[in-house]
Amino acid sequence: MKAVSCFIARITHFMHLIGGFFLVAMMLVTLADVAARGLFGITEGSVDWTFTGGIELVKYSLLFTVLFILPHSVSRSQVIVDLFTDGFKDTTKRLFEAFYSLCFGVLGGAMSYSFYLHIEDAAMSYETTQDLMIPLTYFYSVATFATVMLAIAAFVYAFELLICGKAEA
């Protein structure tokens, strides 16, 4: 079990780094878009460095940022309210955390299924993004992978808590 857990942790850590890249890319695209539009306004249109698709780039960067960061964070960022759980035994706290992780796994599985269905629909209709004309099947495929990894990471973590009795991180 430890080998599987370490393998999943490595994959999700790499995804976490990619999510950080998307976050930085999103900020840079936003900065460039605002600066270009500001320059366009200041020069009354004589300098036109505006570009098409900035909103789409930010939109999909945000999607990938969240989806790529969640699998790594599911076992590391649980907020536990001390007022509610202060009097509980460690075993009870671990069961609550396992339940929470199982819910995350179910959510990831449901999202994976939904994105998977969207892949087929987008492929049949040749659906693309509005400005950049990128086929949506690419985005849905990547989102499906990320949400599958979220489900796997959450289920593995919940399994560790329930079966292996792993202590809180």
Which pLDDT tens digits describe the chain residue by residue (169 residues)?
A: 788 989 999 999 999 999 999 999 999 999 999 999 999 999 999 999 999 999 999 999 999 999 999 999 988 766 555 667 778 888 888 888 889 899 999 999 999 999 999 999 999 999 999 999 999 999 999 999 999 999 999 999 999 989 887 644 4
Question: pTM above the 0.75 mark?
Answer: yes
**Cα–Cα distance measured from residue 20 to residue 26, given in angstroms and rounded to the nearest whole number:** 10
Q: Compute the distance between CA of residue 137 and CA of residue 134 in angstroms, rounded to an integer.
A: 9
> Where does residue 135 rank: exposed (0-12), middle (13-18), buried (19+ CB within 10 A)?
middle
Kindly calculate the radius of gyration of the chain based on its CA atoms and give it in whole angstroms: 21
Task: Provide the 8-state DSSP code for 160.
Answer: I
